[in-house]
Structure 1
Amino acid sequence: MTKIQMTTPLVEMDGDEMTRILWKLIKENLLEPYIDLKTEYYDLGLENRDKTDDQVTIDSANATIKYGVAVKCATITPNQARVEEYNLKKMYKSPNGTIRSILDGTVFRAPIMVKGIEPCVRNWEKPITLARHAYGDVYKNVEIKVPGAGKAELVFTAADGSEVRETIHEFDGAGILQGVHNTDKSIESFAKSCFEYALDSKMDLWFATKDTVSKTYDGHFREIFDSIYEKEYKAKFEETGIEYFYTLIDDAVARVMKSKGGFIWACKNYDGDVMSDMVSSAFGSLAMMTSVLVSPAGIYEYEAAHGTVQKHYYKYLKGEATSTNPVATIFAWTGALRKRGELDGISELCAFADKLEKATLTTIESGRMTGDLVLITSLENAQKLGTEEFILAIRDELDTMVG
């Protein structure tokens, strides 16, 4: 069979642990037999990030700006235990946070719905798309362990030397401090990305923060959203027949649980991280979630929304059987390949991405699936397949579809 030819490479960001194993299996079995795969490869595995002092992460983000489309494997954000386990030079920040801040984009995440995997929330009939701000907050924070009594202050020194100073807390003993920030430019990009995505998908847009408590920080997010909506998008939303509204994050959670789905829920960075995991779990599995970072400049980075599946990796290293769900990682590849095909005018590449997704879902709907899905499926006589066995079952379906 003649392989599909690519003209522009994808930026390929390899990752860590069990998802790195999945990455290799997916390429060897589901991509390379069918596509003359062109990628610019960056190894974002933790060892190589440490070896390059994390420069490889920055380089991969800049390459994404150059080529326009990237696909990323799940990576480790190290805590102290990981620093010791991998003998790292330091506790590196989230590679996703670094990439997102460079690309200045918004992360859109939606559950992958498939027959036999019904949402835990019975009234959810349509996917709920999470729009997560992709810059700042705790992902770009500065932290201090307070050793003892003293005064903590928040100080801003302007370019002209003038200062704004606020007391945070007067400590009478040990404690902790955290400083976070954001920028108007990034918040404006977040807002515009959300409004544009809502118009393109013709879905209502909800935005939620906690401005009753964080009156300045969260309140500024709301002010920027409201201003841009009124000036640039209100008429377009009304013409399209969709709605934008703001609500508190706790009220949004209550509304979401009672909704039928089919809308976009925009959240600040950390809120979006947590709520996307909640939504994906409630729809079925963390491994059944698409995730794409979209920048205002029209740059796309596709990834799996879940972690590196550490427990399965340790089993794999011991030679024990694993049944790890690769669906989100497969859909990261199909999303990137489809977008590359759209941008380069390669219809065969777009069609292949569609077929691979259909082959993946058809395999599950036939009752062949990984262990996490067997536990929650409504299909009778579901068969639990091992990690590689499931990928090979998808390949059988794909071979039938591509002839």
Structure 2
Amino acid sequence: MRDTKTVVVMKGDQTGQELLEEAMRILQPDVIGFDITFEEYDLSLENRRRTDNEVVHEAAQAMKTYGFGIKAATITPEAGDDVGSPNAILRREIDGKVIVRTGRRIPGIRPVGGTYAPISVIRMAVGDAYGAKEWRDGEGDDEIACRTEVIDRKTCRAVAEYAFRHAKKMNAKVFGGPKYTVSPVYEGMLKEEMDRASERYPDVPYDPQLIDATYALLLNNHGDPLVIPALNRDGDCLSDMVLQLFGSIAGAESMLISFDDELNPHVVMAEAPTGRPRVSSAKTSPTRWR
């Protein structure tokens, strides 16, 4: 008797849902060659509003049970009193630590700057600029804006460890890094974990660079496969650039991963890497794809 895996399927909005339906066609047992079942949850904006996000929490718990998920692109309302981003809830609920976004050459599309081999961005999934405490003090020309950002050692270790494991599988070089010279205490924490991971994987090539140098050198890449560990904000911006180097963000993959105590993947969720702004037909407030 064959072991049947269950994948949690999270439906989305409009084009996101259409693309999910196409993806599901190639996940059928007669295509992939092994048994697989699906448990569906409707994460469309309409249903998230109707359930006050309860459906998102249910989907997250199901992923923790089965270990696998695939999510369509969904609309995130801009209004603060609306349902917000389902991605933020899912990442928190499954304790997602790493987002892996890999650019690969698309047949028939000429890449930019000689980027022929795959490039993976290993992005911190939580903390940093996202969810930071923000406030303003003063008035007029003396007004100042402040933000308190936080990263933690455990997440930095997960990013660094997975980067080197991924590079070993890809026969790639771990490349890039944070701006640790300007921010040795905050951004230096990720650099420390990258250096320690390098010691654990001496057979994996390691070329640490500051984030600004990383951007510049990517435009002069000689075609080698690369794995780039990054802070949350850096990884968000960097992955959009890397994916576009291959011709289109739409042709890329994005994986959210949580880990067990041994830093082995515990839950893996495939999702759309990004989307385009639009206006919801349900409300007049601006929305964005997530």
| TM-score normalized with structure 1 length | 0.60
Q: How many aligned residue pairs are there?
A: 270
- 1:76 alignment partner AA: I
* Partner residue of 1:237 out of 202, 210, 213: 202
2:127 is aligned with 1:136? yes
The one-character-per-residue Cα deviations of 1:184-241 (angstroms, maximum 9, x if unpaired) are 11111222111211222221111411123223211122123223433xx1xx333xxx
Q: CA deviation at 1:55?
A: 3.6
Q: Counterpart of 1:210 in 2: which secondary structure?
A: coil
Compared CA separation, residues 308 and 40, structure 1 to 2 (3 A)? farther
Question: How high is the sequence identity, in percent, across the aligned residues?
Answer: 31
- 2:191 alignment partner AA: R
Structure in which a larger fraction of residues adopt helix: 1
Aligned equivalents of 2:194 and 2:22: distance in 1? 43
Compared CA separation, residues 193 and 142, structure 1 to 2 (3 A)? same
The one-character-per-residue Cα deviations of 1:237-270 (angstroms, maximum 9, x if unpaired) are 33xxx31232110011111111123111111111
User: Unaligned regions of 5+ residues in structure 2, if any?
Assistant: 282-290
Q: CA deviation at 1:136?
A: 1.0
* Partner residue of 2:183 out of 214, 217, 228: 214
Q: CA deviation at 1:287?
A: 0.6
- Larger Rg belongs to: 1
Q: Counterpart of 2:147 in 1: which secondary structure?
A: strand
- 1:176 alignment partner AA: A
User: Unaligned regions of 5+ residues in structure 1, if any?
Assistant: 84-88, 150-170, 315-403
Compared CA separation, residues 32 and 113, structure 1 to 2 (3 A)? same
* Partner residue of 1:95 out of 86, 89, 99: 86
2:289 is aligned with 1:289? no
Q: CA deviation at 1:91?
A: 6.2
Given that 1:97 and 1:139 are in contact with CA atoms closer than 8 Å, whether structure 2 keeps it comes out as no
Structure in which a larger fraction of residues adopt strand: 2
Pairing 1:351-366 to 2, within 5 Å after superposition: none
Aligned equivalents of 1:96 and 1:261: distance in 2? 32
Aligned equivalents of 2:27 and 2:158: distance in 1? 34
Partner of residue 167, structure 1: none
Pairing 1:325-340 to 2, within 5 Å after superposition: none
Aligned equivalents of 2:257 and 2:244: distance in 1? 23
Partner of residue 125, structure 1: 116
* Partner residue of 2:7 out of 10, 13, 19: 10
* Partner residue of 2:210 out of 227, 235, 248: 248
* Partner residue of 2:103 out of 94, 111, 134: 111
Q: Counterpart of 1:294 in 2: which secondary structure?
A: strand
